[in-house]
Structure 1
């Protein structure tokens, strides 16, 4: 094995490890954003429905004032939760992270395919460079998408 072939093999092994680690982290973040988006949406809808019930229920005069005060407090909480969800854009970030996970999964399959075709042979340096360029494009695209989401929030 030539020195260049050995270097290409080491670089491919490094890329495999890097892609696998990124996939683990990006999946964790995607799932966290999905749960956060779902939780905030469910909370605002549930609290809004509860406010409607509290304001519409027929009770004695003393209890009516108390229920109106609770509904007012819940209305304020819904406003805060809605602002929180809008500011952090969990749903948008979740979708963007899902795209990145998909692209990284596709790259991992490409690496596996490349490895399967190698047998005992080292990879060609240009194949490793192509895989590295694709990984860098995915990372750059993910970062740029995240920046666009954050800039849109400020607009």
Structure 2
């Protein structure tokens, strides 16, 4: 029994170190806050605009903001997976 428990604890610790749940939770919380902020800005904009009269420049800014949030999330995920990693390698993958 002790051997099985010892092996189980080792596997659990290895999984925890590999996935780093706390760091993932913090990063996902930050991303969620950024996405909620973007949605709030879009809702505010759409409330003040007449239907069908949306400005192309503003819609493009919203799209660029969304793309930036998703790109930052991907960079952070790749950085987490590669350890400290080489930043130039991460940038070339994105």
Work out whether the TM-score is over 0.5.
yes
Structure 1 regions of 5+ residues with no counterpart? Answer: 1-69
TM-score (norm 1): 0.51
CA distance in 1, matches of 2:80, 2:11: 20
CA distance in 1, matches of 2:10, 2:44: 50
Q: Does 1:120 find its partner at 2:51?
A: yes
Q: Does 1:108 find its partner at 2:39?
A: yes
> 1:97 offset after TM fit, Å?
1.4
> 1:77 offset after TM fit, Å?
0.8
Structure 2 regions of 5+ residues with no counterpart? Answer: 86-94
- Corresponding position of 2:90: none
> 1:120 offset after TM fit, Å?
3.3
CA distance in 2, matches of 1:80, 1:72: 12
- Corresponding position of 1:93: 24
Summarize deviations over 1:19-59 as a string: whole Å, max 9, x none. Answer: xxxxxxxxxxxxxxxxxxxxxxxxxxxxxxxxxxxxxxxxx
Q: Choose between structure 1 and 2: higher helix proportion.
A: 1
Counterpart of 1:145 (choices 70, 73, 76) is 76
CA distance in 2, matches of 1:153, 1:74: 32
Q: Which has the higher contact order (CA 8 A, sep 6+)?
A: 1
Of stretches 74-83 and 114-123 in structure 1, the one that deviates more from structure 2 is 114-123
TM-score (norm 2): 0.81
> 1:153 offset after TM fit, Å?
7.3
CA contact (8 A) 1:107 1:131 kept: yes
